[in-house]
Structure 1
Amino acid sequence: MTAAFMDLVDVTIVNIAIPSIQRETGASVSAIQWITAGYALAFAAGLITGGRLGDIYGRKRLFLIGIGGFTFASALCGFAGSPDILVVARVLQGATAALMVPQVLSIVHATFPAHERGKVFGLFGAIVGLGAVSGPLLGALLTEWDLFGLGWRPIFLINLPVGIAGLLLGAKFITESKAPRAVRLDLPGVALITLAMLMLIYPLTRGHELGWPLWGHLSMVGSLFVFGALVLYQRHKTLTDGSPLIELSLFRVKSFAAGIAVQLTFGVGLGIFFLVWTMYMQMGLGWSVLRAGTTGIPFSVAVSVAAGISVQKLVPRFGRKVLQAGALLMIAGLLIYLWESERYGMGITSWQMAVPLVVMGVGMGLIVAPLTDAVLSEVPKGHSGSASGLINTVQQMGTALGLGLVSVVFFGAIGDRLAPEEVGPAFVDAFQQSLWWVAGVLSVIFLVMFALPARPRAHVEGDADVEGDAHPEGGVNEEGGVHEEGGVSVQGGTSVRGGTNVQGGAS
């Protein structure tokens, strides 16, 4: 629980401090994007690998390596003397989180008997909700307080005592567990997917600053060929030893393929919105970091409440329509935000923002909670672990892609040489343009959702599910479907980090 809380807080705590980091370190636009996108990219690239390594070498061992590495990387972030070192440390944080996070619920599943797991996952849902709500507020308070004159650095240094406690407690109390059948790690597959993502994300992130050079366009086009090579290699791997990194047969399942498309585009939209929103409030409107942090509380609370209601009450009655209503509500919230931003301009208040943020939060809660169960409902049980890990990874890739696109849809709308009095209005105008992009992404999501099953049902029969039987993919399915390796779907499922589902918990 300590590790899960630390990871979720770390993801949400950084955005609120981005303007302070930029001011104090003199970081360029691309460095700022890499501080957020680097974490997401490393996390996405390592999730499936982290889950596999836990199955092969032991979940406790990988958990301790992950939490130790994450704590060390947090110290590097906190003491970074330049933007370049901070970017490298953030990438290391993402990579070590990818070792730590997939083990968390796998260890819970291996440790507790079936009749006790409901209580544990209920506690996990509460921890996750607390992490999502407290991250931005904690980031704002730590930055505003300027503890010991350290400015933004305590947002990373706070992980040190928490991480050390998690490491000591984990070493003492966690019992070791492995998959009963050995799984081979597909290293060439890991290399190909990482290379393809870098070739796509790096030019997007640096393009605006460098004037969109030819090599950037060639790299983005080349990434498509690398993705193609990955697909061909995964087919070969499936035929030769049956242990591919990605189980391609899953994409023949209509609901799964549609769900992957929804997760990818949803990640893109959220990646754009949250970074742009933070910079709009602090650099456009000139708000303090504390005011910006507290402004986001209604959004987080709305997501938490709607997520619980959607899983327990709405989806069993209305099925897919709940997710589509969520997409429409998010679009409605964006349009209200646009109208308010244009009407009130630089004079907009936190209270006026609360209305569109609550509408958007309710919409997001209706989507993230039941989405993974809807996507997995027609996947054969033998592949559920691989499918969950892939869903989680794809959403992280979408987030990294969205953060890369910020340079196009946000910074591309801001002039290079602005007088001080022009900065605020330019950021407000760029924010409004970005909201139209996010609304467009959500419209695509609404249409793609028609390919999801009308009513999510129990997972497709195909492999016997027995207590304690681990599938070679790394997933253990029982008591309502627990999927390991990056994504865990538990009894009804509220989505946490894309592929992790917990009963009644908040995203």
Structure 2
Amino acid sequence: MTRPGTRTEAAVGTRQWIALASVLLATFMGLLDGSIVTVAVPSIQEDLNASFGEAQLVIAGYTLAYAVGLVTGGRLGDLYGRRRLFTAGVAAFVAASAACALAPAAPVLIGTRVLQGLAAAVMLPQVLSIIQASFAGPARKTALGMYGATVGLAAISGQIVGGGLLTWNLLGLGWRSVFLVNVPVGVLAVAVARRTVAESRGPRTRLDLAGAVLLAAALAGLLLPAALGWPAWGWVPAVAGAAALAAFWFAERGRVHALVPLRLLGRVVPGLLTVLAFYAGNAGFFLLLAYHLQAGLGLSPLAGALVFAPLGIGFAAASVAGRRSGRIVTGAALMTLSLAGVVVVALMVPQSGQVAWLVPALALSGVGEGLVAAPLIGVVLAQVAPGDAGAAGGILLTATQVANACGVTLIGGLFAAVLGGAPGTAGVGFPHYAHATAVTGTAVLALAVLTGILTRTTTR
């Protein structure tokens, strides 16, 4: 067992790179599960005779449990060992995935999805902590670049992998294969991590249980309405969540062993503003593009997902190549240029030729996003002490979840408002979708510009 702290030597051996591969494999699995199930929801609803509300909770249960547990999961790694919490989280995720695949009814599946989300909240914050503790100097930048590439590929691959599994219907498993695929992946990740990941932890303190409960209540209240599409009663949990967040803030100020120390907030908040702008724009862009490709251009879910592939390839390549924070502004500029191209294509190109013109624009967008994502993580974590790495990683991932929820809700709401009705509404044709895509694409473009502006301020 290694002593608390982080590696100060730049030299990194083969063992550390193998360890990185194991934690990135688990990262891909956990993040993929947030989107892959979306493709399978219609099949799940039909097979389990589930209501629309239950189908929503299959998705929202995972997302909410994951989001509310991230900061606490990261702090547990700081206190009790990051490798220990990582392997325990992966093992629990595998068990929950198997339980999801075996679920005989919708309520059981919802419950197992919540357990799966909680396991991901324990597993995923440790990844950034392990990278911080295992790598230094240029090697850390490379490792963060690979992490950024993994995150991008997971975001893009959900619909492709899910659509492929449902289309092939291996062994007649149908939607259950979406969950069973996690089992061999998770077992391999645990087996390799136990032998290669060095243990690390922060100073010996105790967990702030009161802070953990208040923060979980705040995040659950604030994110639940967005996860369920802002129902009429959504203001009730939102107000309760805001009150819990205020109580958490005042309670944490006087605690010696605070869940989120104020010194940590001062170091990560400037970078988190950029995170919010970047990920909210991305989430909104993916949503409006999915509407445009499927409802507007009439592509199947799998065909629409394949149009995203150039974006994912560009993202992965640029994440590994662009590791310096100075390139974030360049990446934001490329994103802005590509989004301008999407707006022009939506308005000017005939329906039959749009896919051919969208592909290069999406590839350019992927390169821009990749140049932003990996260095942005380094900017947020640059001033974080080794002992707070787990909590900082949890805060970072929580911010991305909040940004995703806000992006989907706000951009999705704007898209529907400009469209004149929900996607799929009778009488709404391609010209309406093209106009809505152009207007909401301009809003996403503004968020890309804001990302570049905030980056210049933060890095200075």
1:260 lines up with 2:278 in the alignment: no
Match of 2:317 among 305, 330, 333: 305
Report the Cα distance in structure 2 between the residues aligned to 1:345 and 1:12, rounded to whole angstroms.
34
Residue in 2 that maps onto 1:51: 74
1:441 lines up with 2:434 in the alignment: no
Measured after TM superposition, the shift of residue 364 of structure 1 is 0.9
AA paired with 2:101?
Answer: G
Cα distance per residue 1:92-141 (max 9 Å; x no partner): 2221012122334656787x7989x7799499659838954755543332
Contact in 1 for aligned 2:75/2:207 (Cα 8 Å): yes
1:64 lines up with 2:93 in the alignment: no
Match of 2:250 among 232, 239, 245: 232
Contact in 1 for aligned 2:145/2:320 (Cα 8 Å): no
Change (3 A) 1:185 1:404: farther
Report the Cα distance in structure 2 between the residues aligned to 1:23 and 1:430, rounded to whole angstroms.
29
Which stretch has the larger CA shift, 215-224 or 94-103? Answer: 215-224
Matches within 5 A, 1:421-432: 422=428, 430-432=436-438
Residue in 2 that maps onto 1:141: 164
AA paired with 2:304?
Answer: A
Matches within 5 A, 1:5-404: 5-12=25-32, 15=35, 18-22=38-42, 25=45, 35-80=58-103, 85-104=108-127, 121=143, 128=150, 132=154, 136-168=159-191, 173=195, 177=199, 179=201, 181-206=203-228, 210=231, 213=232, 215-237=233-255, 242-252=256-266, 256-311=268-323, 315=325, 319=326, 322-344=327-349, 346-378=351-383, 386-404=391-409
Measured after TM superposition, the shift of residue 54 of structure 1 is 2.9
Contact in 2 for aligned 1:37/1:403 (Cα 8 Å): no
AA paired with 2:285?
Answer: F
Measured after TM superposition, the shift of residue 323 of structure 1 is 2.1
User: TM-score, normalised on structure 2?
Assistant: 0.78
AA paired with 1:227?
Answer: L
Contact in 1 for aligned 2:125/2:390 (Cα 8 Å): no
Measured after TM superposition, the shift of residue 158 of structure 1 is 0.8
User: TM-score, normalised on structure 1?
Assistant: 0.72
AA paired with 2:455?
Answer: M
Change (3 A) 1:414 1:200: farther
Q: Secondary structure at the match of 1:62?
A: helix
Report the Cα distance in structure 2 between the residues aligned to 1:428 and 1:11, rounded to whole angstroms.
30
Change (3 A) 1:128 1:415: closer
Cα distance per residue 1:149-174 (max 9 Å; x no partner): 44443222211222234445556x36
Change (3 A) 1:189 1:271: farther
Cα distance per residue 1:305-334 (max 9 Å; x no partner): 22233325xx4xxx3xx3233223222222
Measured after TM superposition, the shift of residue 398 of structure 1 is 1.8
Q: Secondary structure at the match of 1:452?
A: helix
AA paired with 1:157?
Answer: L
Which stretch has the larger CA shift, 155-164 or 378-387? Answer: 378-387
Report the Cα distance in structure 2 between the residues aligned to 1:12 and 1:434, rounded to whole angstroms.
26
Report the Cα distance in structure 2 between the residues aligned to 1:106 and 1:17, rounded to whole angstroms.
27
Q: Secondary structure at the match of 1:311?
A: coil
Q: Secondary structure at the match of 1:353?
A: helix
Report the Cα distance in structure 2 between the residues aligned to 1:348 and 1:245, rounded to whole angstroms.
53
Instruction: Kindly report the root-mean-square deviation, in angstroms, between the aligned alpha carbons of the 2 structures.
Output: 3.9
Report the Cα distance in structure 1 between the residues aligned to 2:311 and 2:44, rounded to whole angstroms.
29
Q: Secondary structure at the match of 1:7?
A: helix
Measured after TM superposition, the shift of residue 147 of structure 1 is 2.4
Cα distance per residue 1:339-386 (max 9 Å; x no partner): 212334643453322122122112212211212333344556775654
AA paired with 2:450?
Answer: V
Measured after TM superposition, the shift of residue 194 of structure 1 is 1.7
AA paired with 2:407?
Answer: G
Contact in 1 for aligned 2:82/2:129 (Cα 8 Å): yes
Report the Cα distance in structure 1 between the residues aligned to 2:80 and 2:388, rounded to whole angstroms.
21
Report the Cα distance in structure 1 between the residues aligned to 2:336 and 2:261, rounded to whole angstroms.
34
AA paired with 2:322?
Answer: S
Report the Cα distance in structure 2 between the residues aligned to 1:285 and 1:170, rounded to whole angstroms.
44
Q: Secondary structure at the match of 1:262?
A: helix
Q: Secondary structure at the match of 1:185?
A: coil
Contact in 2 for aligned 1:205/1:407 (Cα 8 Å): no
Report the Cα distance in structure 2 between the residues aligned to 1:227 and 1:428, rounded to whole angstroms.
40
Cα distance per residue 1:217-264 (max 9 Å; x no partner): 354344333222111111021xxxx211112134445xx432111112
Which stretch has the larger CA shift, 390-399 or 51-60? Answer: 51-60
Contact in 2 for aligned 1:204/1:407 (Cα 8 Å): no
AA paired with 1:449?
Answer: T
Report the Cα distance in structure 2 between the residues aligned to 1:423 and 1:269, rounded to whole angstroms.
25
Report the Cα distance in structure 2 between the residues aligned to 1:199 and 1:88, rounded to whole angstroms.
18
Which consecutive residues of structure 2, in runs of 5 or more, have no partner in the other structure?
1-20
Measured after TM superposition, the shift of residue 296 of structure 1 is 1.6
Change (3 A) 1:289 1:230: same
Report the Cα distance in structure 2 between the residues aligned to 1:165 and 1:193, rounded to whole angstroms.
33
Change (3 A) 1:249 1:280: same
Report the Cα distance in structure 2 between the residues aligned to 1:120 and 1:332, rounded to whole angstroms.
27
Contact in 2 for aligned 1:207/1:407 (Cα 8 Å): no
Report the Cα distance in structure 2 between the residues aligned to 1:435 and 1:73, rounded to whole angstroms.
38
